[in-house]
């Protein structure tokens, strides 16, 4: 006899089956012992009686919540008046004939049959493997899986290649702090974890791949908040021989079809998605990720929009006062191309504050869920970006020489976008933060309470790496 999913038991009335799962609850009614058995797929009622056999009946009386068991029995229709319409298996019950206790469990740290919002985050994160047993989190992870699968299938049909890029890479200034990884083989040298696959996906365009994507892990050493984590997942894609409209059209079609297939109960407020310039957004909403929902009390309303025409550069705080030299930095990333009409300004390093970039952000219900741009595909243009930022030639070559060489190898015009998987699923599932749609997130302050990290390492490990810890003054 093979394992039967509980959800499939409704189609096997009159048959004997073997079920595996966790005890969700137990009730004694005189000579009858009822348990609710739970597996990943569903929950069902199992009935033990003296007819189940003496040993089986005795063992059933010992069962407690979250014990792991195997149960064999006969699937029967419930008597009229005993049907539970609230669950998919509410018309059947299992008449137990066999019971094997596979593992006992300590008293759970919290009730997993509730939505869990009332349980403190620290205890939920400490016992995350128990927390995930609750139906809400299990559904979130199931829908996350379906969202990612939809994206993969959609882009496969569009003839994209899914290609993995390195996790151990080079530290380059891209906006946020890098997580550094010391090299044992090359003492004093470090890898960095990628803030995004930005440079690698452009290098794949130089390689002639033309259409690339991956479900990419990204790492940024920055302060956390409800919709941000030290490590997160994004859909990363890049295309060759395209203009801005091509990428925006592909992305918009992907999201519309995703919602229509996986969340048909939700309504997209406006199709095609409206476009708002950065200037208009700031003047009208005071923010560059506006929430344009007509009814913010409707949890099933999805208001997508594009924000376009961003400034390429911004003056760093406090650097433009008096007669001081202005220090410029990029507003998104240094690899973006300016809008075509501003290319001459970039090349001549003039009208810097007025240069608009080809950057485009996609916004959903007040959250930026993705951003992208057309890239500078000529080395001279990329060098000008770094020169405007005050980089000397030596520093440009040290940090980005590999990119300069790649652009000189015959790279086509290209561009892409990187929507955030965590934020998208968070919004679609009406969750308050991305931790609720991630299997093993960090706490709001970046700790893993289950694995107790970050943590110290042994003196031997530090010595092998040639590292000495210097305590910072408080």
Which DSSP string do the residues of 10-50 spell out, in sequence order?
A: GG-TT-EEEEEEEEEEEEEETTEEEEEEE-SS-EEEEEE-G
Residue 16's beta-bridge partner residues? Answer: 74
Residue 151 shares a structural domain with residue 292: yes
Same-domain pairing of 34 and 91: yes
Measured distance CA(9)–CA(313) in Å, rounded: 61
The pLDDT of 244-254, averaged and rounded, is 98
The verdict on 149 and 67 lying in the same domain is: no
Q: How many domains does the chain have?
A: 2
Residue 71: band (very low, low, confident or very high) from pLDDT cuts 50, 70, 90: very high
More confident residue, 1 or 414: 414
- 70 found inside a domain: yes
Triad 202, 203, 206: Cα angle to 5°: 95
Would you state the structure tokens that stand for residue 60, as one six-digit string?
Answer: 């059933």
Task: Answer yes or no: do 99 and 137 share one domain.
Answer: no
Confidence class for position 320, pLDDT limits 50, 70, 90: very low
61 belongs to a structural domain: yes
Specify if 403 maps to a domain.
no
Do 193 and 154 belong together in one domain?
yes
Residue 320 domain flag: no
- Give the confidence band of 226 by pLDDT, cuts at 50, 70, 90: low
Q: What is the pLDDT of residues 425-449, one digit of tens each?
A: 999 999 999 999 999 999 888 899 9
Q: What percent of the chain has pLDDT over 90?
A: 87
What is the CATH classification number for the domain harbouring 34?
2.40.50.140
Residues 152 and 300 in one domain: yes
Cα separation of 438 and 74, whole Å?
38
Residue 209 and residue 229: Cα distance in Å, rounded? 31
Answer whether residue 425 is part of any domain: yes
What mean pLDDT, rounded, does the chain reach?
A: 93
Report which of residues 470 and 413 the model is more confident about: 413
Residue 460 lies in a domain: no
- Within this chain, do residues 156 and 98 fall inside the same structural domain, yes or no? no
With H, G, I as helix, E, B as strand and everything else as coil, classify residue 58.
helix
The CATH code of the domain that includes 158 is 3.30.930.10
Give the tens place of pLDDT for each residue, 167-198. Answer: 999 998 766 789 999 999 999 999 999 999 99
Predicted TM-score of the model (pTM): 0.93
Considering the domain architecture, whether residues 156 and 89 belong to the same structural domain is answered as no
Please say if the pLDDT value at position 227 is more than 60: yes
Is 445 contained in some domain? no
Strands 43-48 and 92-103: parallel
Q: Where are the beta strands (DSSP E) in 189-303?
A: 190-192, 211-219, 231-240, 267-268, 275-277, 301-302
Give every CB contact of residue 30 below 8 A, 6+ residues apart in sequence.
none
Question: pLDDT for 12-47, tens place per residue?
Answer: 999 999 999 999 999 998 899 999 999 999 999 999
Whether 306 and 363 have beta carbons less than 8 Å apart is answered as yes
With vertex at residue 403, the alpha carbon angle to CA 380 and CA 362, rounded to the nearest 5 degrees, is 90
Dihedral angle sign, alpha carbons of residues 124, 125, 131, 132: positive
Residues 6+ apart with CB under 8 A from 167: 193, 194, 217
pLDDT tens for each residue of 83-115: 998 899 999 999 999 999 999 999 999 999 999
Distance of CA 148 to the CA centre of its chain: 10
168 and 97: one domain?
no
Provide the sign of the torsion angle of the four alpha carbons 275, 278, 283, 286, taken in this order: positive
Domain span including residue 204: 130-310+359-377+412-437
pLDDT at 224: 64
Is residue 42 domain-shared with residue 165, that is, in the same domain? Answer: no
In which band, very low, low, confident or very high, does the pLDDT at 55 lie, cut at 50, 70 and 90?
very high
Q: What is the pLDDT of residue 197?
A: 94
Last residue of a domain, one of 103, 138, 166: 103
Per-position DSSP letters for 382-397, written without gaps between them: HHHHHHHTT--HHHHH
- Residues contacting 29, CB < 8 A, separation 6+: none
* DSSP state letter for 319: S
- Rounded to whole angstroms, how far apart are CA atoms 215 and 111? 33
In eight-state DSSP terms, residue 225 is B
């Amino acid at each position: 006899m093979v394992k039967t999913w509980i959800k499939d038991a409704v189609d096997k009335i009159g048959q004997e089956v073997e079920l595996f799962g966790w005890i969700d609850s137990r009730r004694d009614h005189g000579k009858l012992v009822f348990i609710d058995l739970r597996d990943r797929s569903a929950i069902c009622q199992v009935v033990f009686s003296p007819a189940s056999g003496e040993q089986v009946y005795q063992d059933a009386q010992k069962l407690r919540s979250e014990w792991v068991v195997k149960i064999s029995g006969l699937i029967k229709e419930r008597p009229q008046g005993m049907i539970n319409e609230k669950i998919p298996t509410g018309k059947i019950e299992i008449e137990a004939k066999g019971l094997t206790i596979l593992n006992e469990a300590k008293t759970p740290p919290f009730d997993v049959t509730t939505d869990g919002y009332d349980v403190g985050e620290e205890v939920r994160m400490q016992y995350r493997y128990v927390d995930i047993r609750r139906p809400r989190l299990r559904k979130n992870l199931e829908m996350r899986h379906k969202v990612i699968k939809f994206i993969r299938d959609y882009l496969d049909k569009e003839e994209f290649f899914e290609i993995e890029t390195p996790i151990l890479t080079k530290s380059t200034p891209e906006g946020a702090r890098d997580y550094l990884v010391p090299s044992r083989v090359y003492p004093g040298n470090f890898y960095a974890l990628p803030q995004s696959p930005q440079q690698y996906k452009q290098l794949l365009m130089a390689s002639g791949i033309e259409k690339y994507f991956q479900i990419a892990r990204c790492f940024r050493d920055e302060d956390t908040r409800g919709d941000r984590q030290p490590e997160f997942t994004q859909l990363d894609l890049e295309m060759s021989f395209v203009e801005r409209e091509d990428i925006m059209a592909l992305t918009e079609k992907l999201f519309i079809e995703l919602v229509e297939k996986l969340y048909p109960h939700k309504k997209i407020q406006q199709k095609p998605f409206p476009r708002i310039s950065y200037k208009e957004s700031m003047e009208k909403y005071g923010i560059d990720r506006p929430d344009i929902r007509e009814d913010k009390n409707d949890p099933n309303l999805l208001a997508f929009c594009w924000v376009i025409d961003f400034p390429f550069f911004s003056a760093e705080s406090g650097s433009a006062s008096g007669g001081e030299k202005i220090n410029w930095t990029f507003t998104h990333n240094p690899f973006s191309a300016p809008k075509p009409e501003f290319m001459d300004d970039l090349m001549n390093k003039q009208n810097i504050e007025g240069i608009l970039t080809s950057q485009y952000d996609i916004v959903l219900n007040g959250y930026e869920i993705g951003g992208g741009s057309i890239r500078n595909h000529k080395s001279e243009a990329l060098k000008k970006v770094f020169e405007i930022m005050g980089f000397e030639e030596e520093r440009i070559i040290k940090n980005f020489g590999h990119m300069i060489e790649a652009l000189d190898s015959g790279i086509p015009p290209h561009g892409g976008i990187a929507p955030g998987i965590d934020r998208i699923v968070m919004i679609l599932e009406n969750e308050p933060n991305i931790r609720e749609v991630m299997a093993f997130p960090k706490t709001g302050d970046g700790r893993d309470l289950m694995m107790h990290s970050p943590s110290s390492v042994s003196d031997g490990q530090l010595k092998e790496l040639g590292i000495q810890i210097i305590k910072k003054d408080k």
